[in-house]
Structure 1
Amino acid sequence: MGGLLKFVVILLGVGWLLGQLIRYFLRTKLAKFAQQVSEMERQQRREQQEASRPKEGVNVDYIPKTHQEKRKKDIEGGEYVDYEEVKE
């Protein structure tokens, strides 16, 4: 009877100790995972802010239609200059 009681007490002690160790490791792994997730969210937020921030330099939001048509004509045909050939 004494051997059975000793076995049960040891079994309960080992079970309790394993439970504590498992709880400790799960808690540390979960905390590490939560930290990685929050760091990824911070990085995504920073990237979104950088993408929405205007670039340095001149930013043209609107080009008038008349200016666009004038530029188109300049590019397509160029400028024609009349000239006379002079023979010497």
Structure 2
Amino acid sequence: MGGLLKFIIILLGVGWLLGQLIRYFLRTKLAKFAQQVNEMEKEQRRAQQAASRSNEGVNVDYIPKNHQKKRQKDIEGGEYVDYEEVKE
């Protein structure tokens, strides 16, 4: 009877110890996974912000001088477009 009691106590101790170890490893793995997910989300936000910034307009660093002169001449007169207002 003394051997059976020892066996049960050892079995409970080993079970408790395994439970604690499993809990510890799961917490660390879940923490790492949560951190990776947060980093991926931050990267996606940065990419979206960069894409939205690049879609705001076109930045031109250099315009040739002869193109600027042509453009100023083209704008002077313009064409008249006849239109009618349509009332609903």
After the TM superposition, which segments of 4 or more aligned residues of structure 1 sit over 4 Å from their partners? Answer: none
Residues matched between the structures, number = 59
Shift of 1:57: 1.6
What TM-score results when the alignment is normalised by the length of structure 2? 0.63
Where structure 2 has 5 or more consecutive residues not aligned to the other structure, the ranges are 61-74, 76-88
Shift of 1:52: 0.3
Q: In the TM superposition, what are the counterparts of 1:1-88 in structure 2 within 5 Å?
A: 1-54=1-54, 57-58=59-60
What TM-score results when the alignment is normalised by the length of structure 1? 0.63
Where structure 1 has 5 or more consecutive residues not aligned to the other structure, the ranges are 59-66, 68-88
Rg larger in 1 or in 2? Answer: 1
